[in-house]
Amino acid sequence: MYLSELKCWNFRKFGSLDPFENKKDKPDLAIPFQSGLNLLVGENDSGKTTIIDAIKLILLTNSREYIRLELDDFYYKNEDTANKLRIECNFKFDPNDSKAHNFLEWGHFNAENEFELRVFIEAKIKKLKLCPMTFEEE
């Protein structure tokens, strides 16, 4: 299993103030990954740490660093802040992966007939408080 794609809507520097519903199929950031080694290279303040933190939020990593969503994680421009964000990770499985059967209950077959698992987190701001979204069937 490997992370095949990361998508972000209104997460930190990757976003817009357009209503979330108008861009649900158009993420503000979409990064494809390959099986094996992937590198993130860029100038300072280009978003490398944002990408890593997005993956950490999805995977709920167990490191000494405590990471959780904050109001500052929502995209903002000037004095306007997006009221909803979403982070989505898609995982693909090697056809010979003997452990793929453990994820059959949660995964699906994509348009290319590859088995994948989609994990996401959504949050919205209500009265300047962060509220996790309830699970909605897509």
pLDDT, tens digit (0-9, with 9 covering 90-100), for 35-80: 999 999 999 999 999 999 999 999 887 677 777 888 899 999 998 9
pLDDT grade for 103, boundaries at 50, 70 and 90: confident
Per CATH, the number for 2-132 is 3.40.50.300
How many Å separate Cα 30 from the centre of its chain? 9
- The answer on pLDDT for 137 being more than 50 is no
**Of all residues in the chain, what percent carry a pLDDT higher than 70?**
90
pLDDT grade for 133, boundaries at 50, 70 and 90: low
Task: State how far the Cα of 45 lies from the Cα of 5, in Å rounded to an integer.
Answer: 21
Using only the alpha carbons of the chain, give its radius of gyration. Answer: 16
pLDDT, tens digit (0-9, with 9 covering 90-100), for 68-90: 888 899 999 998 989 999 999 99
The b-or-e profile of 13-42 (16+ CB within 10 A means b, else e) is: ebbeeeebeeeeeebbbebebeeeeeeeee
pTM: 0.84
Phi-psi region of 60 (alpha: psi -120 to 50; beta: other; left: phi over 0): left
CA angle 79–131–127, rounded 5-degree value: 45
DSSP one-letter code for 74: B
Residue 5 CB coordination number (10 Å): 16
